[in-house]
């Protein structure tokens, strides 16, 4: 029967192989569930028809058995009444009924065997369906995990860590160079300020000396350079000329 050939193919299929070959394992798993559900429905309908045929054959077999028994009873009654002809006629009907019994018995047994086989196949298919349902969530979870791992691996593969670290090192070197330049400019700036102050101090001292000479000239006094230096030192210390 075609339906059971299809059922056999599904039951023999290796779910893992199907998943490996499928472009989308999650969709494939769900499709397998749908296929199994359809096959269960079809096989259940076939089982229902087989069971109906079995009941009809059983009824015909039992009817033939009862007919044979009835004709035998009538033949006995005819013989008891001394009517041999009626007994023989009743027995002829019994023979026909016995033939029907043999025929219906064979038919009933054949249909019963087929029905039992279909019933076993249906039960097996239902068990496979329940197993597939129980494994569905696990398989889908594994598929999603595999996709996640694959995506992460591809993402990491697209990053050149060596190149990234080289760039990082170059940036660090640039920063160190900038820091060194800043320190050098600070040092140069400090020396420049000191020199500027020295020059300013020399200029101020020259002006002071000039003013002192002017005052002394106006007052008609003079002094040596040594005395001038001593007087300036005294002024700086808060003394007086």
Q: Per residue in 224-236, pLDDT tens? A: 555 656 665 665 6
Mean pLDDT of the chain: 78
Burial class from Cβ neighbours inside 10 Å (0-12, 13-18, 19+) for residue 98 reads: middle
Task: Output the six-digit token pair for 238.
Answer: 């808060």
**Orientation angle between helical segments 84-157 and 25-80, nearest 10 degrees:** 170
Q: Whose CA is closest to 68, among 106, 96, 42, 47?
A: 96
Residue-by-residue pLDDT tens, the chain, 241 positions: 555 556 556 555 555 555 555 567 778 778 888 888 898 899 899 999 999 999 999 999 999 999 999 999 999 999 899 899 999 999 999 999 999 999 999 999 999 999 999 999 999 989 988 888 888 778 777 777 877 887 777 666 655 556 666 776 787 788 788 877 777 777 766 555 555 666 667 777 777 677 767 777 777 665 555 565 666 566 566 544 4
* pLDDT score at 2: 58
CA distance 208 to 211: 5
CA distance 212 to 84: 185
Q: Per residue in 133-155, pLDDT tens? A: 888 778 777 777 877 887 777 66
CA distance 225 to 67: 167
Q: Any idea what the Cα angle at residue 5 is, between residues 26 and 28, rounded to 5°?
A: 5
Q: Whose CA is closest to 35, among 128, 108, 148?
A: 128
Cα dist. 189→71, 176, 197 in Å?
139, 20, 12
* pLDDT score at 181: 75
Q: Residue 126 is inside which H or E element, if any?
A: helix 84-157
Cβ(45)–Cβ(39) under 8 Å?
no
CA distance 11 to 131: 11
> Which stretches does DSSP call E strand in 4-161?
none
CA distance 29 to 18: 9
* pLDDT score at 241: 44
Return all residues near 199 (Cβ < 8 A) that are at least 6 apart: none
């Amino acid at each position: 029967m075609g339906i059971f050939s299809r059922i056999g193919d599904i039951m023999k299929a290796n779910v893992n192989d199907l998943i490996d070959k499928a472009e989308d394992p999650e969709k494939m798993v769900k499709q397998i569930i749908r296929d199994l559900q359809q096959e269960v429905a079809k096989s259940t309908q076939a089982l229902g028809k087989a069971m109906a045929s079995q009941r009809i054959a059983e009824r015909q077999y039992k009817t033939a058995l009862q007919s044979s028994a009835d004709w035998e009873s009538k033949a006995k009654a005819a013989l008891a009444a001394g009517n041999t002809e009626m007994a023989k006629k009743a027995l002829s009907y019994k023979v026909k009924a016995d033939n029907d019994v043999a025929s219906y018995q064979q038919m009933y047994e054949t249909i019963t065997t087929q029905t039992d086989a279909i019933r076993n196949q249906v039960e097996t298919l239902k068990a496979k369906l329940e197993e597939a349902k129980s494994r569905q969530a696990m398989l889908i979870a594994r598929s999603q995990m595999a996709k996640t791992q694959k995506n992460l691996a591809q993402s990491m593969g697209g990053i050149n860590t060596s190149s990234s670290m080289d760039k990082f090192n170059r940036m660090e070197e640039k920063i160190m160079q900038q820091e060194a330049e800043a320190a050098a400019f600070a040092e140069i700036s400090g020396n420049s300020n000191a020199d500027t102050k020295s020059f300013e101090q020399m200029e101020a001292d020259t002006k002071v000396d000039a003013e002192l000479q002017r005052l002394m000239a106006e007052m008609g006094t003079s002094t040596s350079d040594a005395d001038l230096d001593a007087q300036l030192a005294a002024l700086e210390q808060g003394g007086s000329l």
